[in-house]
């Protein structure tokens, strides 16, 4: 999950670069948009796989209820935020530009929630 969060942070950084260019009125470089899409799609896929693996490992390997911990609930919130961000990103990719600001805010919230889940997950390590 650390790698997936690093990829998500890189996607956020490239998205912020696109946003800065747009707010300045400068055209974004084509490579920046392609890089953002590639990183974001990879991050969402990795987060999805990691989120699915969490409850499975909690039940099968550790023998406890995956949502009996703060980590489980924060991870669920982060996964939902990432999914919402991805859905809006998909809409943006297909021309629904009115969702730009919400997409950006959800992206930041996704990473913050993931960081909180990461922090609370350390106490669960064997």
Quick one: pLDDT at residue 42? 97
Provide, rounded to the nearest whole percent, the portion of the chain with pLDDT above 70.
100
What kind and span of H or E run contains 1?
A: none
In the predicted model, what is the mean pLDDT of residues 20-37? 90
What pTM value is reported for the model? 0.89
pLDDT band at 124 (very low <50, low <70, confident <90, very high): confident
In the predicted model, what is the mean pLDDT of residues 39-49? 97
pLDDT band at 103 (very low <50, low <70, confident <90, very high): very high
Q: What is the pLDDT of residues 68-102, one digit of tens each?
A: 899 999 999 999 999 999 999 999 999 999 999 99
Q: Give the helix ranges, DSSP H, for the chain.
A: 2-24, 30-57, 70-93, 100-121
Mean pLDDT of the chain: 93
């Amino acid at each position: 999950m650390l790698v997936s969060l690093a990829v998500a942070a890189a996607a956020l950084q490239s998205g912020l670069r696109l946003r800065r260019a747009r707010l300045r009125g400068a055209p974004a470089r084509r490579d920046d948009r392609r890089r953002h899409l590639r990183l974001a799609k990879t991050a969402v896929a990795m987060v999805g796989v990691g989120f699915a693996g969490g409850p499975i490992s909690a039940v099968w390997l550790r023998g406890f209820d995956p949502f009996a911990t703060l980590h489980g609930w924060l991870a669920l919130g982060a996964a939902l935020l990432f999914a919402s961000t991805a859905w809006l990103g998909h809409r943006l990719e297909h021309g629904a530009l009115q969702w730009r600001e919400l997409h950006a805010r959800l992206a930041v919230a996704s990473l913050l929630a993931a960081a909180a889940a990461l922090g609370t997950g350390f106490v669960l390590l064997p």
